[in-house]
Structure 1
Amino acid sequence: MAATITPLANVDAAWLKMEDPTNLMMVTGVLMFPRPVDMDYFRALIESRLLQFDRFRQRVVRPSLPLAPHYWEFDPHFNVNAHLHRIGLPHPHDKSALQQLVSELMSTGLDFSKPLWHMHVVDGYGEGGAVIVRLHHALADGMALVGVLLALTDMNPGAPRPTPNGHLAAAEPDALAPPSPLRGSWEALQLRAAEMAGRGVGVGRRALIEGLETYLNNDRPRQLAEMTTDYAHAAGKLVLRAADNQTIFKGELGIAKRAVWSRPLPLSEVKAMRQALGVTVNDLMIAAVAGGLRRYLEGRGEEAVDFRAAVPVNLRGPHEMGGLGNKFGLVFLDLPVATVDMPRRLALVRYRMEALKNSHEAPVALDILGAIGFSAQMVQDAVVRMIGSKATAVMTNVPGPPIPLYLAGQPIERMMFWVPQSGRLGLGLSVLSYAGNIYLGIASDAGLVPDPDGILLGFYAEYDELLGMV
């Protein structure tokens, strides 16, 4: 019987075509735990939950004909053990060693002869452990992939343990109260994702980009896309926008990348600043990040100038949560890097974020990605260069679960994710909230920014300045 094949959607194919050894199109994540991860338990979760999605058992086939579409087919030799590896963290077994390991894996491409995902279970992270996840963007966008990973989690430590054949074992007696027939299922994940990542659903029926947070209301972007005049204006604005300012953050990319993340910042503390200053949590984070970037530039004898961040905007509706594939656009935020005065910088961030709320560019960018998916390589390269010239960084903000989640029987203490820097950009900035804390993650090209910890130090100084204002 002929093998089942599925052509890649144009937008998914675009991410495949943008793959380059110096700019891998992977979503990379790290989860940290207080104890070593039970490998058998973790493998059983992968088999019983992740492999319910066909994409994680399918590989991409590149057609022999030049204009034929790429397609998915089930890997006839699929073996989950080819995608799960257990490794020990080198000395000194601390955060710096884990950041180095994440950096090395972030710099290493996936095997395209197999399904496009890989996970490393890491032993020796202090007294605990970690899981490093790499997922190709052709599978789905960052929001969908984070949702898939959350489907592996439970909301309490006594959830039923999957057996080797993928079925759930009986729960511990104390885990049965309160009863939850959806616990551990994909339906439960959808509910959690809608509650945690979609806090803006139904608020004003508009495409909220409340300081970069990903909301799920899908009506407004569709309305904008259907308004021909506005759509054409947005397309022209995107194409004709001047190239971004040149800084040391832009340049020729190399293979090696660097990944770091901040200490946990209490979300209650940030919300107290928000209330005192009359801004959003995201306004505060962006202002502190922009100041940290300025300090980094000045510390290296460079002139501090404003530059743009490309911001992904989710275009999924609430009913579309749980699906794979890519469905997001981009808007461009001018970061007030050159502004030293914190109140002035905070006001600029707030003003510019307000201006983005009615941006028409997100659906335009989604259509451009779709066009890349069926274009010839030469055309695709030109479009990618054009988009990449408009920005210096990719900046994301994912409102994660507000409560601790459990994986393989123990709590996830901390987590961080990075999306790829499309357009061959060399700097990624990720803001993630989880379990009462907020984190900043930085991914950089090692040739351009070999020491992203320097940006973090500047960010901490700016954050302390914000605290001083209240």
Structure 2
Amino acid sequence: MTQLKPQDSQFLYMETANNLSNATMICVYSPPADAEDFDCFQSIKEHIQSRLHVSPIFTRKLKRLPMNLDYPYWIDDRFFNIDSHLFNASLPNPGNWRQLCDLAASIHSRPMDMNRPLWEIHIVNKLNNIDETECANVPPGSFALITKIHHVAIDGTSAMRFFQALSDIDPNGTPAADINNIQGIHDNEPTVGKMLYNAIHNHIRSPMQFMNTAARSIPSIAPGVIKSLISHDKSERNTVVHSRFNEAVAPQKSFSACSFPLSDLKSLQALAPESKLNDVVLAICSGALHHYLLAHQDLPATPLIAWVPINARAPKSDSSKTDGNEITAMSANLYTHIADPVARFKAITAATRLSKEAKSGVSARLMTDLSKHMPGATMALASKLILASNVTAKLCNLAVSNVPGPQIPLYIKGAQCVHQYGMVPLADAMGLFLVTLSYNGKMSFSITSSDNIIPDLAFFTECLTLAFNELKDLTNTLSANADRSK
């Protein structure tokens, strides 16, 4: 019997008809060596059937309490049927990249059946006309897996582990994870009496734990609070300007993506010597926003602020116990108003370092810790109040998440995965989420938005490429100058 953690439950309580809490992965595979005899749907179905034991996500569903009296439970689905979760799909002619993006967005935008395990996989056959300039290395006969999982069950890090457990490390079918020693997790349905007892116990215990957490945090947050109270320097405060991304979001989401060599991204760190790879990601996103908004004559004079999720797991945490969400966050000033790309990059690097060390990181971690001790009914009510208050627009303009992945090729039934992309939930007043996934020497930049927020998503994707190329050109110039000076 496993009860949901408060952070997982937030993705239930904050879900609306317009903004679902779905997380979607788009994996593109080149055809296997035996492509002529390859029955794509049946082969993938057999493979997934053989890996159902690698994660409880596959076969357990939610048990919710009336009026959200307490957090829900995971229970085994006694009537689990894999055919209810696998779907055969194909693109209409000509079967190109834009159509694949539209299909992924359509799947992402549909609600899940909350009476079943919260996942589904769409197997998209015969990708025969993918333009090399839009998505490289997709030969005719390739296929895609569009996997949708409710965010209540998974975050970025656990999602990568989930997909790795489904994958092989060679065309011969050698599992990427040790699937033979995985112990199955069974969640029996709790009795009504047990759920009521736990609800009463949690409501009594939660206020005490809440106060204990707050008391432990005072020494770390007090200096920052005092400084902010006495400071008159407005430049130290991240004031969120209203932008076109802070509007109501349409229920039908949109998706696009592009990819860059990971080695090139790492080389860009030479432009800001103290930068991390995450700073490079933010710099490219900021550059894209600068170019996009400038082209639309809509660039604010003050910078946009990004909400940046951070993996909160211990480095050596047991992967068998880390499904669900373990994240904190920080806010990041993107300095989108700065025209010079290097100055913008250096400003982002300095700001993120301070955020991690000081008040932004501490306050985000504190809110995460405190939310762990809210009773279920309180969390449900608080989530609704947050949605009604439009607080998202007061905290950030958009979100940017960088999720590291495996740097070796992964396979499924002999077919090599050549691209990985992701879509994530949006919220009203936060209509843009940029997700980067690193895999096998590349990093993809995935865009989740809606047409009323970004009506020209292809142009925004071009702006990402433009931002990358201008930093790459400056890096090459810096390297050439260094060579001449030797």
Q: TM-score, normalised by structure 2?
A: 0.77
* Cα 1:376/1:281, change in 2 over 3 Å: closer
Partner residue, 1:307: 304
Alignment partners' CA distance in 1, 2:167 and 2:227:
42
Query: Using a 3 Å threshold, how does the CA distance of structure 1 residues 351 and 82 change in structure 2: closer, same or farther?
Result: same
Aligned to 2:163, the other structure's residue is in SS state helix
Confirm whether residue 97 of structure 1 aligns to residue 94 of structure 2.
no
The superposition leaves residues 365-390 of structure 1 with CA deviations (integer Å, 9 ceiling, x where unpaired) of: 32354338542644222235435530
Give the corresponding residue for 2:317.
319
Larger radius of gyration: 2
Counterpart secondary structure, 1:268: helix
- How far apart in 2 are the matches of 1:422 and 1:285? 22
**In the alignment, which residue of structure 1 is the partner of 2:413?**
408
Q: In the TM superposition, what is the alpha-carbon distance from 1:420 to its structure 2 partner? A: 2.1
Whether the aligned pair in 2 keeps the contact of 1:306 and 1:338 (CA below 8 Å) is yes
Q: Determine the structure 2 residue equivalent to 1:207.
A: none
Deviation (angstroms), 1:51: 3.9
Between the aligned partners of 2:224 and 2:393, the Cα distance in structure 1 is: 17
Matched, 1:154 2:157: no
Separation in 1 of the partners of 2:289 and 2:319? 34
CA contact (8 A) 1:294 1:338 kept: yes
Task: State the SS of the aligned residue for 1:246.
Answer: coil
Q: Matched residues in 2 for 1:396 and 1:337: separation?
A: 17
Give the aligned partner of residue 380 of structure 1. 383
Equivalent position SS for 1:228: helix
1:62 maps to 64
2:300 is aligned with 1:297: no
**Which SS does the other structure have where 1:349 is aligned?**
helix
Structure 2 unaligned blocks of 5 or more: 129-139, 183-212, 229-236, 477-486
Is 1:372–1:380's contact at 8 Å kept on the other side of the alignment?
A: no
* Structure 1: 5+ residue stretches without partners: 161-181, 190-222
Q: How many residues align?
A: 409
- Say if 1:10 and 1:47 are closer, same or farther in 2 by CA, change over 3 A: same
The residue aligned with 2:345 is 346
Task: State the match for 2:268 in structure 1.
Answer: 273
Given that 2:246 and 2:429 are in contact with CA atoms closer than 8 Å, whether structure 1 keeps it comes out as no
Aligned mate of 2:368, from 366, 369, 380: 366
| 1:416-427 matched pairs, under 5 angstroms | 416-421=421-426, 425-427=430-432
Tell whether 2:223 aligns with 1:229. Answer: no
Q: 2:154 aligns with which of 126, 136, 140?
A: 140
Deviating more after overlay: 119-128 vs 61-70? 61-70
* From 238, 244, 248, the counterpart of 1:248: 244
Per the alignment, do residues 348 and 378 of structure 1 end up closer, same or farther by CA in structure 2, a change over 3 Å counting? same
Please state if 1:25 is matched with 2:29.
Answer: no
Task: Name 2:10's counterpart in structure 1.
Answer: 14
**Residue from 102, 120, 123 that aligns with 1:121:** 123
- For the pair 1:435 / 2:440, whether they are aligned, the reply is yes
Q: Deviations over 1:16-45 (max 9, x none)?
A: 111112211111110001127732332233
Shift of 1:332: 0.6
5 Å-filtered alignment, 1:149-188, equals 149-159=163-173, 184-186=177-179
* Distance verdict in 2 for CA 1:314–1:186, change over 3 Å: farther
**Letter matched to residue 220 of structure 2:** D
CA contact (8 A) 1:394 1:421 kept: no
What's the offset of the Cα at 1:288? 2.0
Contact 1:27 1:420 in 2 (8 A): yes
- The code of the aligned residue for 1:319 comes to S
Is the 1:17–1:373 contact (alpha carbons within 8 Å) kept by the matching residues of 2?
no
Q: How big is the shift at 1:268?
A: 2.3
Contact 1:444–1:450, Cα closer than 8 Å, also in 2: no
**CA deviation vs aligned residue, 1:33-86 (integer Å, no higher than 9, x gap):** 112773233223322224443332122133224524322222232101100111
1:439, distance to aligned residue in structure 2 (A)? 1.6
Distance in 1 (CA, whole Å) between partners of 2:282 and 2:114 is 36
What letter corresponds to residue 269 of structure 1 in structure 2? D
When normalised by structure 1's length, the TM-score is 0.80
Tell me how far apart the structure 2 counterparts of residues 447 and 457 of structure 1 sit (CA, whole Å). 19
Which amino acid in structure 1 is aligned with residue 112 of structure 2? L
CA contact (8 A) 1:404 1:412 kept: yes
Cα separation, 2, equivalents of 1:235 and 1:67 = 34
User: RMSD across aligned C-alpha pairs, in angstroms?
Assistant: 2.8
Distance of aligned partners of 1:376 and 1:361 in 2 relative to their CA distance in 1, 3 Å threshold: closer
Q: Could you tell me how far apart the structure 1 residues matched to 2:442 and 2:471 are?
A: 17
Alignment check: 8 A CA contact 1:56 1:117 kept = yes
Please tell me whether residue 330 in structure 1 is matched to residue 329 in structure 2. yes
